[in-house]
Homo-oligomer: A and B are copies of this chain.
Amino acid sequence: MFKKNYLLAPGPTPVPINVLLAGAKDTIHHRTPEFVSIMESTLEKSKMLFQTKEKVYCLVASGTGAMETAVVNTVAPGDKVIVIDGGKFGERWDDLCKAYGAKIDLIKLEWGDYVRPEQIKDALDRNPDTVAVFATHSETSTGTVNPIKEIAEVVRNYKAILVTDAVSAMLAEPLKMDEWGVDIVATGLQKGVMLPPGLAMIALSPKAWARVKACDSKHYYFGLKYYDKSYPDSPWTPGVNQIYQLQAALDMVEKEGIENVWKRHQILADATRAGVKALGLSLLSKRPGNVTTAVFSPLDTGKLTKLMRDKYGVTMAGGQDHLKGKIFRVAHLGYMGKFDVIVGLSALEMAHTEMGHPLPLGVGVKAAEEIFLKEGI
Contacts and interface: CB of A to CB of B under 8 A. Distances in A.
Interface of A: 1-4, 6, 17, 20, 24, 256, 260-261, 264, 311-314, 335-340, 342-343, 346-347, 349-350, 353-354, 361-367, 369-370, 372-373, 377
A277 to B, nearest CB: 14
Given A2-B256, A24-B24, A339-B4, A369 B361 contact: yes
Contact of A342 (B3, B264, B313, B342): B342
B377 A366 contact: no
A67 to B, nearest CB: 29
Contacts of A369: 346, 349-350, 353, 361-362
A351 to B, nearest CB: 10
A6 B337 CA distance: 11
Nearest to A263: B2
A339 B349 contact: no
Given A353-B373, A362-B363, A2 B260 contact: yes
A345 to B, nearest CB: 9
A373 B350 contact: yes
Nearest to A335: B4
A377 B354 CA distance: 10
Nearest to A252: B2
Interface of A, secondary structure class, is: helix
A350 B366 CA distance: 9
10 contacts: A2-B260, A2-B261, A2-B264, A2-B377, A6-B339, A342-B365, A346-B369, A354-B373, A361-B366, A362-B364
A371 B201 CA distance: 46
**Number of copies of this chain that the complex holds:** 2
A366 B342 CA distance: 12
A362 B366 contact: yes
A369 B279 CA distance: 15
A337 B260 contact: no
B377 A1 contact: yes
Most buried by B among A3, A20, A337: A337
A24 B24 CA distance: 10
A20 B18 CA distance: 12
Contacts of A17: 17, 20
Contacts of A4: 335-337, 339-340
Give me the 10 closest cross-chain CB pairs, A-B, nearest first.
A362-B366, A362-B362, A361-B366, A339-B343, A342-B346, A361-B369, A362-B365, A365-B365, A4-B337, A350-B369
Given A17-B17, A361-B369, A339 B335 contact: no
A303 B349 CA distance: 31
A270 to B, nearest CB: 15
Nearest to A351: B373
Nearest to A260: B2
A372 B350 contact: yes
Given A354-B373, A361-B369, A373-B354, A2 B337 contact: yes
A350 B6 CA distance: 22
Contacts of A311: 377
